[in-house]
Every structure is written in structure tokens, then in C-alpha cells.
């Protein structure tokens, strides 16, 4: 029940939003429970904007509480954006081109005001060939990588990316591509880098994915993240599709080229269903009538539930690579990982090989 | 969180700039509007701080660079208070914001 009310908060102000939050809703689910869920789903800014627009009936006390929490959240976000600028400049100085992904870019490019969209970490896209150079630059600035690479080759050609931790404890996710497993393998990285949008942050110009790239990334994030998406991610997709300046033909072509139709259609259906949007758009109508092949549907469901352990996810990626020589390269790297990687997991080389052989005998499951 | 700043609560030791001085938002500052005002983080500052009430209105006025006098006039209209009352506090606030790196003192004249 509380999640349903939170979903109505998430849909506030969108055209065709059927459900409105009432005083009775808030009383029924209790204010502390709703406040907790709204915060967890990143909806404080939308709750506040809805209240100030007369769409959500908060008491003065509730509004004051939300306003204070929102101000604190924005202060933390400014500190993250300063870190973002530091990292972008660090990487540019190291001749590593970057694109800003998710949080900051979506807040500035896809919402009427960035105050509506909180985020909790920094996500950047770098090219696989630049991954090691980027890592060296981050390490030289005091960042650590808690999970060492399986092999450099995996960072460069196969993995989704890696997390780095700044000296102040903030996390920076360096991405090579936008998703793990089969859907990540299908993404045409040349197309992803070919066009971009820009936004200004404290006198610096930052580059983000194009509008169409952001839409597909949000769809991947919503559907392939392992478990139900946060409501703010569905709101992101609704904002982009209802108000964004994207090119429909380009979006369709990217979908086709990346074989992402099943993920995108599922994400749009989920957004319209959870946010309960009555308005039908060309995209929502397409998504409603799109019927993926059964194995595609299964892939989305499988990845939505999560691919399991790192090893399990890696073997799924091996099987989804189209070229045999890539399969062999990744399988070899996974079978004989770097010593640094094994030490980080408290495993010896011999033990790892024995486990790998057992897994291989079971068919890579 | 830094100390909240408002035009009624802030006093600069230096007393502030004269009426012909122009001030504008600094380029290297991050900020967000909130229901409580505006949160600011100049890139060189140690932590964010909040401008509330008239302080937040002053930030809005500084969307375009303004002389102290022009900024005070717009605030007096906005809050329906005599211009001389606003003019007695705005220079000190602007000077403090400049000290914190949030606004830039563009000097005298037009």
C-alpha cells in the first residue's frame, strides 16, 4: 500500500497521472512510513514540488520536515557534483574522454529543475581502451578500487565497469558499457559515443549521452538492475519520453541496432503501469503491442532477477558473445584471473582452478 | 551544513561595498534551489551553505550582474520595505558572499 502511494507521488504532475495522493492515503499508510519510502525511492524533491503545486496535501509540519530533508540532500549532492568535476578534469588531463551518466546528467538535462532529482554516486562512461589510463589517474588521486580487475583484458573488452572509492568515501562508477550480460554485449559502443548532449556545471561544460542514449540507459537501469527499479528511475523514463527532445527515428534505430527492443518495451510498460499513466503516446502504444520472441522475454526476466554471483554473471556474458574468439578470450581470463583479483577474494590460484573445472564440468552454471 | 545566511542576519566586518559596485554570481559555484532557499557550494569552499529568505531572493536577483543599489531596489520592491532599509544591509551581505566565493565583485561603475 505504501509503495502504491509512493508511486502516486512519483507520478505527480505528469500528464495522464491517474492517482493523486490524498490526505486519507497518507493517514492510512502513516506519515513516517511514507516519508521513509519516498526518501528511499529518491522522491523528496517531487513530493515537495507536488505539495507546493497544491497536488499533494501535506500538513505544514510534514512539509517543513520534507523541506529540511531535501535541503540536506541537495547539500550532499553539491559535494558529489564537486567530486564529479574533479574527476572529469582529472580524466581530461589524462587524455581520457568521458561522458557523464545517470544522476547529475539526468537531473540537469531531463528535469524542469535539477532539485527534483537526487543521486548518491557518480557514474562515468569511458572507452575500454582508456580504462587502464583512467584507473591510473584515479589511483594517483587517492582513489581505491575495492574489487581488482579479473584481468586487464576484461576491463578493456568485456566488463560493464568498476567501482572506485574516493578518499572521502564517495563512490565513482567507471563504466565501459551500460549493462551486464547479453544486453551489454549487444550495445554498439561506437554509436553510444557518436553523439552527446552538454550541460554546464560551475563554469565547466560536461558531456552526457544523447537524449536517445539516456533513454535506453534508463531502460536498462530500470529492467536489468536485479529487482524492482527505484521509482525515481521510472520517473526519469517518463520525464524523458513525455518531455524530452529526442528523435523518435534515432531511438528506434538504436533500439534495433542494439537489439534492445525487449528491454525498452518492458521498461516503458513498467513505467506506464507502476506510475499509472493514462495518456497514450506513440512510444507507450508501441511498447504495449510489442511482443518479443520468447527467448528474449526470458533473457529480460533472467537479468531482471539478477545474474547471481560475479562468476555466474561472467559466464552468462561468455555465452552471449557472438564471436568464438571473444568467448575463448574471456573464458581464459576468467579461468586464470590475476593474483590480485584472487587475493581480494581470499582464494588461491589452485583452489580457483579446481572450482573452475568443477563449474566447467557442470556446464558453466 | 554551513551557517544559514540571510540579509537580516549577516554582518560583514568590512561593512560592504558602495551603491555603484556591481556584483554577479561567481561562475565556479554549484547551487540548487530548495524550499528553504538556495544551497550554495563555491568550488573552493569547504562545505555548502544555505541562503534563506531575502538572501535567496538576492541570489535570484543576481541572475544578471547588478549594482548594489539596483539589487537593493529590487529587493525592496519584492519585500515591500523602504529601499534605504535594504541598502543598509545588502552591501555587507554581498561582501560576505564575495568572501565566500559565491559572488564576484565586478567593481564600481556600470
Indicate if the pLDDT at residue A119 is higher than 70. Answer: yes
* CA closest to A81 among chain B residues: B30
Q: Which residues on chain B place their C-beta less than 8 Å from a C-beta of chain A? A: 1, 27-37, 39-41, 43, 47-48, 50
* CA closest to B42 among chain A residues: A202
* CA closest to B2 among chain A residues: A75
Identify whether the C-beta of residue A48 lies closer than 8 Å to the C-beta of residue B35.
yes
Instruction: Supply the DSSP string of A294-316, one letter for each residue.
Output: HHHHHHHHHHHH---SHHHHHHH
Taking the C-alpha atoms of residue B59 and residue B74, their distance in angstroms, rounded to an integer, is 12
Specify the pLDDT at position A95. 97
Specify the pLDDT at position B2. 37
* Cα dihedral B93, A112, A163, A209 sign: negative
**Residue % of chain A over a pLDDT of 70:** 93
Q: Which residues on chain A place their C-beta less than 8 Å from a C-beta of chain B? A: 48, 52, 63, 66-68, 70-72, 74-75, 77-79, 81-82, 85, 113-115, 201-203
Asked if B33 and A81 come within 8 Å (Cβ–Cβ), the reply is no
> Beta-carbon neighbour count of residue A276 at 10 Å?
16
Taking the C-alpha atoms of residue B76 and residue B61, their distance in angstroms, rounded to an integer, is 12
Q: Which of A190, A131, A161, A193 is nearest to A317 (CA)?
A: A161
Cβ-count burial A222-249 (b if 16+ within 10 Å, e if not): bbbbeeebbbbbbbbbbbbbbebebeee
Count of H-run helices and E-run strands, chain A? 20, 6
Per-residue pLDDT tens for B41-83?
Answer: 999 999 999 999 889 999 999 999 999 999 999 999 988 888 8
Indicate if the pLDDT at residue B27 is higher than 70. Answer: yes
Quickly tell me which residue has 535541503 as its cell.
A71
Per-residue pLDDT tens for A196-238?
Answer: 999 999 999 999 999 999 999 999 999 987 788 999 999 999 9
Backbone angles phi, psi at A82, to 5 degrees: -65, -40
Indicate if the pLDDT at residue B40 is higher than 70. Answer: yes
The arithmetic mean of pLDDT across residues B23-42, rounded, is 95
Specify the pLDDT at position A308. 66
Taking the C-alpha atoms of residue B11 and residue B7, their distance in angstroms, rounded to an integer, is 8
Residue to test with chain B: of A46, A67, A75, most B Cβ within 10 A: A75
pTM metric for this prediction: 0.88
Asked if B39 and A75 come within 8 Å (Cβ–Cβ), the reply is yes
* CA closest to A85 among chain B residues: B43
Q: How close, in Å, is residue B48 to chain A by CA atoms?
A: 6
Per-residue pLDDT tens for A96-110?
Answer: 999 999 999 999 999
Per-residue pLDDT tens for A54-87?
Answer: 999 999 999 999 999 999 999 999 999 999 999 9
Indicate if the pLDDT at residue A361 is higher than 70. Answer: no
Instruction: Supply the DSSP string of A276-288, one letter for each residue.
Output: TB----HHHHHHH
Specify the pLDDT at position A117. 96
Specify the pLDDT at position A296. 84
The C-alpha angle A90, A93, A98, rounded to 5 degrees, equals 70
Specify the pLDDT at position A319. 77
Cα-Cα-Cα-Cα torsion B18, B21, B22, B25, nearest 10 degrees, comes to -50
Specify the pLDDT at position A292. 85
Asked if B32 and A78 come within 8 Å (Cβ–Cβ), the reply is yes
The C-alpha angle A253, A256, A257, rounded to 5 degrees, equals 85
Asked if B33 and A115 come within 8 Å (Cβ–Cβ), the reply is yes
Asked if B33 and A85 come within 8 Å (Cβ–Cβ), the reply is no
Per-residue pLDDT tens for A146-184?
Answer: 988 877 888 888 788 999 999 999 999 999 999 988 898
The C-alpha angle A89, A95, A98, rounded to 5 degrees, equals 60
Contacts of A74 in chain B (CB under 8 A): 32, 34, 39, 48
Specify the pLDDT at position A351. 65
CA atoms within 13 A on the CB side of A245: 5
Per-residue pLDDT tens for A286-328?
Answer: 999 998 888 888 888 888 877 666 667 777 787 778 888 887 7
> Beta-carbon neighbour count of residue A306 at 10 Å?
14
Longest dimension (CA), chain B: 36
Taking the C-alpha atoms of residue A197 and residue A214, their distance in angstroms, rounded to an integer, is 10
CA distance to A150, A173, A311, A317, per residue, from A337 (Å): 5, 22, 11, 16
Indicate if the pLDDT at residue A355 is higher than 80. Answer: no
Name the pLDDT band for A12 (thresholds 50, 70, 90).
very high
Q: How many residue pairs bridge chain A and chain B with CB atoms within 8 Å of each other?
A: 60
Contacts of B33 in chain A (CB under 8 A): 113, 115
Q: In what order do the strands lie in the sheet with B49-51?
A: B29-34, B37-42, B49-51
Q: Taking all residues of chain A, what is their mean pLDDT, rounded to a whole number?
A: 90
Option in B30, B35, B36 nearest A78 (CB): B30
Contacts of B1 in chain A (CB under 8 A): 71-72, 75
Specify the pLDDT at position A261. 95
Quickly tell me which residue has 564517495 as its cell.
A170
Indicate if the pLDDT at residue B13 is higher than 90. Answer: no
Indicate if the pLDDT at residue A256 is higher than 70. Answer: yes
Specify the pLDDT at position B5. 40
Indicate if the pLDDT at residue A335 is higher than 70. Answer: yes
Taking chain B, what is the end-to-end CA distance rounded to the nearest angstrom? 36
Q: Which of A213, A201, A184, A235 is nearest to A50 (CA)?
A: A235
Amino acid at each position: 500500500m505504501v509503495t502504491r502511494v509512493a508511486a502516486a507521488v512519483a507520478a505527480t504532475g505528469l500528464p495522464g497521472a491517474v492517482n493523486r495522493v490524498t490526505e486519507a492515503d497518507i493517514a492510512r499508510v502513516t506519515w513516517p512510513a511514507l516519508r521513509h519510502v519516498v526518501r528511499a525511492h529518491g522522491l523528496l524533491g517531487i513530493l515537495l514540488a507536488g505539495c507546493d503545486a497544491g497536488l499533494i496535501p501535506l500538513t505544514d509540519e510534514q512539509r517543513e520536515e520534507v523541506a529540511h530533508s531535501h535541503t540536506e540532500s541537495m547539500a550532499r549532492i553539491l559535494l558529489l557534483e564537486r567530486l564529479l568535476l574533479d574527476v572529469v578534469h582529472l580524466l581530461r588531463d589524462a587524455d581520457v574522454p568521458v561522458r557523464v551518466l545517470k544522476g547529475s546528467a539526468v537531473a540537469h538535462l531531463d528535469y524542469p529543475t535539477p532539485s527534483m532529482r537526487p543521486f548518491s554516486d557518480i557514474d562515468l562512461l569511458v572507452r575500454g581502451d582508456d580504462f587502464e589510463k583512467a584507473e591510473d589517474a584515479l589511483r594517483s588521486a587517492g582513489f581505491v578500487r575495492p574489487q581488482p580487475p579479473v584481468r586487464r583484458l576484461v576491463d578493456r573488452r568485456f566488463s560493464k565497469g568498476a567501482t572506485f572509492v574516493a578518499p572521502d568515501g564517495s563512490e565513482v562508477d567507471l563504466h565501459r558499457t551500460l549493462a551486464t550480460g547479453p544486453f551489454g554485449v549487444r550495445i554498439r559502443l561506437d554509436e553510444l559515443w557518436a553523439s552527446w548532449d552538454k550541460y554546464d556545471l560551475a563554469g565547466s561544460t560536461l558531456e552526457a549521452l544523447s537524449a536517445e542514449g539516456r533513454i535506453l540507459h534508463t531502460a536498462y537501469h530500470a529492467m536489468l538492475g536485479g529487482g524492482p527499479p527505484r521509482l525515481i528511475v521510472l520517473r526519469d523514463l517518463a520525464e524523458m519520453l513525455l518531455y524530452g527532445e529526442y528523435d523518435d527515428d534515432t531511438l528506434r534505430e538504436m533500439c534495433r541496432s542494439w537489439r534492445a527492443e525487449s528491454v525498452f518495451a518492458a521498461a516503458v510498460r513498467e513505467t506506464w503501469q507502476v506510475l499509472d499513466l493514462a495518456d497514450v503516446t506513440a512510444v507507450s502504444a508501441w511498447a504495449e503491442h510489442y511482443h518479443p520472441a520468447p527467448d528474449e522475454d526470458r533473457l529480460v526476466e533472467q537479468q531482471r532477477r539478477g545474474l547471481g554471483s560475479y562468476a555466474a554473471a561472467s559466464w552468462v556474458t561468455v555465452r552471449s558473445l557472438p564471436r568464438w574468439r571473444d568467448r575463448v578470450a574471456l573464458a581464459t581470463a576468467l579461468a586464470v584471473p590475476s593474483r590480485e583479483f584472487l587475493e581480494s577474494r581470499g582464494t588461491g590460484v589452485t583452489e580457483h582452478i579446481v572450482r573452475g573445472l568443477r563449474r566447467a564440468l557442470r556446464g558453466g552454471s | 551544513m554551513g551557517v544559514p545566511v540571510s540579509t537580516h542576519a549577516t554582518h560583514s566586518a568590512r561593512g560592504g561595498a558602495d551603491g555603484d559596485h556591481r556584483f554577479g554570481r561567481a561562475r565556479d559555484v554549484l547551487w540548487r534551489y530548495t524550499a528553504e532557499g538556495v544551497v550554495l557550494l563555491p568550488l573552493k569552499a569547504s562545505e555548502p551553505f544555505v541562503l534563506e529568505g531575502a538572501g535567496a531572493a538576492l541570489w535570484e536577483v543576481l541572475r544578471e550582474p547588478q549594482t548594489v543599489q539596483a539589487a537593493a531596489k529590487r529587493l525592496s520592491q519584492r519585500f515591500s520595505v523602504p529601499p534605504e532599509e535594504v541598502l543598509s544591509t545588502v552591501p555587507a551581505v554581498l561582501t560576505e558572499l564575495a568572501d565566500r566565493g559565491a559572488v564576484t565583485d565586478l567593481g564600481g561603475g556600470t
